[in-house]
Structure 1
C-alpha cells in the first residue's frame, strides 16, 4: 500500500513539478519579452530625441542664416545710403536706389513673420490630420524658397552696387 501511495504521490509530485516548470517557462518568456520591449522603448525614445534635436538644429541653422542675410542687407542699406550721398557734388549712386535693399528688408521681415506663423501652426502637432502634416511640409518648403529668393535679392543688390561703383 505504501508503494502505491508513493507512486501516486510521485505522479502527483511530478505533475505538480511539470506545472511549476511550465509556469516558470511562461514567466521567463514574459520577462524576456518585457526586457525586449523595454529595450525597444529605449531605442525609440533615443530615436525620438535625435529627431527632435535634428529639427531644432535645422531651425537654428535657418535662423542663423536668415540673421546673416538680414545683417548683410543692413550693410547694403548703409552702403547705398553712403554712396548715394557721397561725394556731395557727384554721388556714385542715385539716392532713390536705396529702395532696393529696403524692399528686400521688408520682404525678410515678412519671411520672419511667416516663420512665426509656422511655429504657431507646429505647436498643435499632436492634433494634426494627414492633410495638416502635408500642409506643414509645404509651408516649410515655401519658406525655404522664400529665404533663398531673399538671399538672391541681396546678392543682386550687391552686384548692382559693385557695378555702379566701378
Structure 2
C-alpha cells in the first residue's frame, strides 16, 4: 500500500507572506487580511482557468502591490478643478527674456561673446574653457567677469543679480 503525501496548496502556503506584506503596506491587520484573501481568490480563479503562471509567488506579490496602490488611490481625496488650476504659466516672458539675453550676448566684444556662447551651451568650468580656447585661465576668468558685468548692465540687473531675475 502506498501512502499518498498530500501536496501543499501553493496558495495556502503563500498566505502568511501575503498577509505580512499587505500589513506592511497598509498598516492595518484587517485590511491586510482582506487584501490577502482577495489575492488568494484571484490566484485560485487563475489556477481554475489553468493560466500558466511561472512564478505564482512573485505574481501574487505584484498583484498585491497593485491592489494596495489602487485602494490607496480610491481613498485619496481629490480636488475639484477651478478656473485658476486650469491655467498654466505663460512661456512668453521667459522666451522674450532669453531672446533679449541672446541679443545682448551678440553685442558683446567678440572674445567675450564667444565665451558666453560656450557657457550657454553648458560649459561652466573656466579651466575647461581656457583649455578649449587655448587661453590662460586668468584671461578666461576676467573676460567672463567683464561679459557678465556688461550683460547685467544691459539687462538692467543689479551687480549681484542672478540669471533667475531675468524671468
TM-score (norm 2): 0.23
Q: More helix by proportion, 1 or 2?
A: 1
Normalising by the residue count of structure 1, what TM-score does the alignment of the two structures yield?
0.23
**Larger Rg, first or second structure (1 or 2):** 1
